[in-house]
Amino acid sequence: MHTSKDLDLLAVNTIRTLSMDAVQAANSGHPGTAMALAPVVYTLWQRYLRFDPEDPIWPNRDRFVLSVGHASMLLYSMLHLTGVKAVDPDYETLGRVSVSLDDIRNFRQLDSKCPGHPEYRWTSGIETTTGPLGQGVATSVGMAIASRWMASYFNRPGFEMFGYDVYALCGDGCMMEGITGEAASLAGHLRLSNLCWIYDNNKITIEGHTAWAFSEDVATRFLGYGWNVLRVGDANDLEMLQRAFDTFKKTDDRPTLIIVDSHIAYGAPNKQDTHAAHGSPLGEDEIRLTKRNYGWPEDAKFWVPDEVVTHFSAGIGARGASLHADWGARFDAYSAQHPDLADHLTRMQKRQLPEGWDSDLPVFPTDPKGVAGRIASGQALNAIAKNVPWLMGGAADLAPSTNTRLTFDDAGDFTADETGRNFHFGVREHAMGAVVNGMSLSKIRAYGSGFLIFSDYARPAIRLSALMEIPTIHIFTHDSIGVGEDGPTHQPIEQLVSLRAIPHLVVLRPGDANEVSEAWRTIMQFHHTPVALILSRQNLPTLDRGKYGPASGVSRGAYILADATDGNPEALLMASGSEVGLCVDAYERLTAEGIRTRVISMPSWELFEHQDKAYRDAVIPPSVRARVAVEQASTMAWERYVGLEGKIVGMRTFGASAPLKTLQEKFGFTPEHVAGVVKGLVRG
C-alpha cells in the first residue's frame, strides 16, 4: 500500500518519465526543464489549482500558463494524467480526453495534440500559446486583470462569480526578455495580488550557464517592481513549495514571485552535458539509467501506473468537480436574482453581443473638411462600448492621440484601486499587446492602441493573437507620412505590408468617417479573428454617400466607391485609408476628361480575399488592365491587384520631416499626379 509521500513521488516520476520518453520518441525537444519542474507543477495542480478536468473552460477556473513553452511535455503530461476533457469551438465537451497516451507517443508529430510548444485552441486545457519566451508571463498579467475586472462587474453580495488566480511558470530566458520587465512592472503597479509567477532558477539556457549573459539579482529587481518575493531552495521540496503557495494565497496587496532553485534534470548522477539534457533527447542508455535511479521499470515506455491516475482523480479531479458544481448552483441562483448580469456573463463567455449593441453607431454627414480617422473611431468606440460592457482597453501612453479613451459616465479607469474600463499601459507596447491578448483569452473584448510605427514593438504579441485566433483589437493611428513634421522616425512605411503578411490577421484601413463606423461594426462581429485597425491622424473628407457607394461595403473588404457612368470602366483606381479621398478627386478630374474610371476602396485585403470569385471579379474586372493603386506606404504586394501592366503610387523610401502638403507634393500624392499616371496607362 502506498503512503501519501509514495504517491507524491510516484506521480512526480510519472510526469518525468512521460516527458523523457516523449522527447526520445520524437528525437526532438527539451526534457530537462520538464523533469526538473515536475514536483513544482505536481504540487500546484494536485493541491491548489482550482480547475475541473471535466470542463477545462469553466469560467472561474484558475489559469495555469507555461511561459517556458519548450517544457511543453510538462503540461501535456498533466493534461493526460488528470484526464482533462476535450472541448470544441462551440464550447461543447466532447467526452474524450484532450491528450491521449497516443498523442504523447506522437509528441511533435503532425496532427498530434502535443505539438512542440503549447497551442491554444489546438489542445483543450492550454490557456495560451507559448514558446516565444516572456509572452506567457506577459499574457498572464492580462488574465489577472480580467479576473479582477470581472469580479468587480459581476460579483454581488452572496454571489462570488469570479475571483480566479493566475499562475505562470517562467525561466531564465523569460527573465531576460524585455517584455517580462514591462509586464512585471505593470503588474506590480496595479498590485495584482491574484497573480503568481514561479521562476525556475536553474541557471541554464541553450548556450550554457547563465553566467555568460545574466547576473542580475532577480529578487531585488522584483522587489523594486512592488512584488512579494519568496524563495524555495529545492524544487523537490514539496512542503516548502506548499508553504510558498500558501503565502501567495494569503497575500492580498501585490503579485507574488516564487523563486524555485532547481538543477536541470539530466537523469543519472554522472550526466554532465547540461545543454544536451535541456535542449535534446537524453538517449536510450541515459533513460534506462535514469529510470533505474527512480526505481522505475527500465524498459517500460510511456508507463502510467493506475495508482497515479486514481491519485489525481481524488485530488484535483474531486476538488475541481466540487468547486465547479458549487459555482454552477450559484450561477443558477444568480440568474434568478440578477438576470441581466447573468445574461451578460453568458454572452461574454460565448463572445455574443447584447441586443442593440450597434444601435448608436454614428453616421457622419458629408463634409469636405472631414474628420480624422482616429476621431471618428473614438466616437464609434464609445457608442459601442456603452452597449457592450466588456469592451475595454487603452493605449501605450497615447490615449489622447489615439482617441481610445471611453468618455461616457461610469467608464472609469483601471488602477490599483479602481476597476474601470480605461487602461493605462504606459510606454510598454510589447507588454500591452500580450496583456490585451490575456484579457481576450479571458473573454473580455480588449483593445490596445498606439502609433502605427510602434506596431513593430508589439508585433510578436500581434502575431500570437492571430496564431491563437482570438479577437484582440489592435488600434494604430498616425498611419502614414501624414504625420508630417515628426519625420521618418514616426512615419510608417513598411508596417502596413508587414501586418498584412501575418496569416489570419485582418488589417482594416478605412477611408473616411463612415468607413470607420462600418469597420467597427465589422470588427465587433468577429469571434476568432484579431484586427489591426489603421487610422489617420489628419482629417479625411467625409464622402457623399448619396453620390458614391455605401460604406457598408467595408464588410466585404473592397467595394466600388465611384464608377464610370456606363459601369464599364477603362481604368481602375484602388486605395485604402486617406488615399481613397485622393483617388476620388483624381476620378472627378479623369471623368471630366472623358476617361471612364472606377474607384475601388480597399480597406481590407484579407476580407476581400474571403469573398467569392464572382464578387472579386465584379469589383476588379480581369479585363481592365489599366490599374493604379495609391497608398502612402510600401508598394510591396500591390502587384497582386494592379498586375504587371499597372502602376503603384506609393513609398519606395522613408519619409521626411515637413508639413503634410509639402510631403504629398514631394512623393506624388496629389490628384494631378495620380490622374496623370492613369492617363499614361490609358493613352499609352
Q: Which residues have a Cβ under 8 Å from the Cβ of 235 and sit 6 or more positions away? A: 36, 37, 39, 40, 200, 241, 260, 261, 262, 263
Q: Nearest CA to 299 among 13, 21, 74, 14? A: 21
How many CA atoms lie within 13 Å of 182's alpha carbon, on the beta-carbon side?
Answer: 24
Helix orientation angle between 579-592 and 671-683, rounded to the nearest 10 degrees: 50
Q: Which residues have a Cβ under 8 Å from the Cβ of 409 and sit 6 or more positions away? A: none
Q: Assess contact for 487 and 657: CB atoms under 8 A.
A: yes
- Cell numbers at 353, concatenated: 453581443
- Cell numbers at 218, concatenated: 532577480
- Phi, psi for residue 419 in degrees, rounded to 5: -130, 50
Instruction: Quote the CA–CA distance of 61 and 232 in Å, as a whole number.
Output: 26
Q: What are 287-292's contacts with CB under 8 Å, separation 24+? A: 287/20, 287/21, 287/24, 290/20, 291/17, 292/268
- Phi, psi for residue 506 in degrees, rounded to 5: -90, 125
Residues 8, 11, 12: CA angle, nearest 5 degrees: 85
SS3 167: strand
Instruction: Quote the CA–CA distance of 183 and 135 in Å, as a whole number.
Output: 9
SS3 218: helix
Q: Nearest CA to 40 among 206, 237, 174, 217? A: 237
Q: Which residues have a Cβ under 8 Å from the Cβ of 92 and sit 6 or more positions away? A: none
Q: Assess contact for 280 and 46: CB atoms under 8 A.
A: no
First to last CA, the chain: 92
Q: Nearest CA to 83 among 318, 329, 326, 324? A: 318
For β-strands 256-261 and 228-232, DSSP reports them as parallel
CA distances from 50 to 80, 250, 299, 315, 323 (A): 17, 16, 36, 11, 7
3-state SS of 304-360 is CCHHHHHHHHHHHHHHHHHHHHHHHHHHHHHHHHCHHHHHHHHHHHCCCCCCCCCCC
**Number of other residues whose CB lies within 10 A of the CB of residue 4:** 8
CA distances from 614 to 507, 575, 622, 642 (A): 23, 21, 11, 18
CA distances from 486 to 169, 221, 478, 593 (A): 42, 35, 10, 38
Sequential DSSP letters for 66-135: ESSGGGHHHHHHHHHHTTPEEE-TTS-EEEEESS-HHHHHTTTSTT-S--SS--TTTSTT--S---STTH
Active-site residue set? 429
Q: Nearest CA to 44 among 5, 8, 3? A: 8
CA distances from 277 to 78, 211, 281, 302, 320 (A): 21, 18, 7, 19, 34
Q: Which residues have a Cβ under 8 Å from the Cβ of 250 and sit 6 or more positions away? A: none
